[in-house]
Structure 1
Amino acid sequence: MPLTLTLTEDVLPEGAEKLAIAKITEAMLKWHNLAGNEIMKSNITAMVQVLPKNATYAGGEEFSGVWVEWKVPSFAFTDRDVQIGFGQDVTDIIYELSGRTQPRENIYINVVHAVDGSWNFNGVAMTNEQITQAISTNGVSQ
C-alpha cells in the first residue's frame, strides 16, 4: 500500500522523513487494528518527495505544506473513527517532527482507493477478500 509523503523543504529537519514514514505507517496499522501484523506491514511501501519552497502553493501563493497520501484497497479508511483518529495522529506526528513549527492547517491527508481485484499484494493481484485472508494468517483479523 503505497504511502506518499510530499513536503516543502525545511518543514522537517533533514533526515526526519524516515522517522515520519515509520510513525505514519504505525499509525495506519494501529487505526486498522493491524499493529504487529508483519504481512500487512511488509506490503506498506513509501515514497518521500521534498520539494523546493518555490514549488509548493496554496491559493496561488508559495507556502510550506505537507501532503500525506495513501493508495489502498477499498476496505481501508472507510470507518469515520479511523479517518478522524488517523488524521489527528498524522497531524500530530508531522507537527511534532517539525519542531512544532509547521502549521497544522497546512498538513493535508487524503486516501485513494483501488478497484477491488487490482491490488498487487505480496506480488499477486488480489481481491479485498484475498487480502483480508492473507492479513488474518498473521493472527490479526481485519
Structure 2
Amino acid sequence: MPITITITKGVIASERHGKVVKEITDSFLEKHGLAGNTVMTPNVTTQLHIQPKNETFSAGEPIEGAWVEIKSPSFALADRKVQQEFFAAVTEIIYKHSDATLPKKHIWTNAVHTVDGSWNMDGIAMTNEELGAAIAKG
C-alpha cells in the first residue's frame, strides 16, 4: 500500500525522516490489526518527498506543511474508527517530529482506494478477495 509523504523542507529535521516513515507505516499496520503480518508489512511502501519552501502552497500562497496520501484496496481504511485513529496518529507523528512547530492545521491527509483487481503484489494483479486471502496467510 503506497504511502506518499510530502513535507516542506525544514519542517522536520532530515535525521528524523526515516522515523516519520517507520512510525506512519507501523501505525497503518497496527490500526488494521496487521502488525507483524509477513505478507502485508513489506507491501506497505513509502515515497518521501521533501519540497523547497517556495514549492508548497495553500490557497495559492506559499506555506510550510505536510501532506500524506495512502493508496489502498477498498477494504483498507474503510472503517470510520480506523480512519479517525490512523489519520489522527499521522497528524501526531508529523507534529511531534516537527518539534510541535508545524501547526496541525498545516498537516493534510487523504486516502485513495484502488480499483478492485488492480492491486499488484509479487507481480500478480489481485482482486480484493485474492489480496485478503494472501494477507490471511501472513
Report the TM-score, using the length of structure 1 for normalisation.
0.94
Q: Displacement of 1:60 after TM fit?
A: 1.6
Does the Cα contact within 8 Å between 1:43 and 1:122 map onto a contact in 2? no
Determine if the alignment matches structure 1 residue 85 to structure 2 residue 88: no
2:96 alignment partner in structure 1: 96
Q: Displacement of 1:17 after TM fit?
A: 1.3
1:75 alignment partner in structure 2: 75
Q: Displacement of 1:38 after TM fit?
A: 1.9
Q: Displacement of 1:101 after TM fit?
A: 0.7
Runs of 4+ aligned structure 1 residues displaced above 4 Å come to none
Q: Distance in 1 between matches of 2:79 and 2:47?
A: 25
Q: Distance in 1 between matches of 2:122 and 2:40?
A: 9
> Residue type matched to 2:41 in 1?
K
**Mapping of residues 8-87 of structure 1, within 5 Å:** 8-87=8-87
Deviations 1:108-131 (CA, angstroms, capped at 9, x unpaired): 111111100011012211010111
Does the Cα contact within 8 Å between 1:116 and 1:128 map onto a contact in 2? yes
Gaps of 5+ in 2: none
- Percent identity between matched residues is 46
> Residue type matched to 2:48 in 1?
V
Gaps of 5+ in 1: none
Deviations 1:42-76 (CA, angstroms, capped at 9, x unpaired): 11111011000000111121110100011111111
May I ask how many residue pairs the two structures share in their alignment? 138
Report the TM-score, using the length of structure 2 for normalisation.
0.97
Deviations 1:65-110 (CA, angstroms, capped at 9, x unpaired): 1000111111110100001000111111001111111111111111
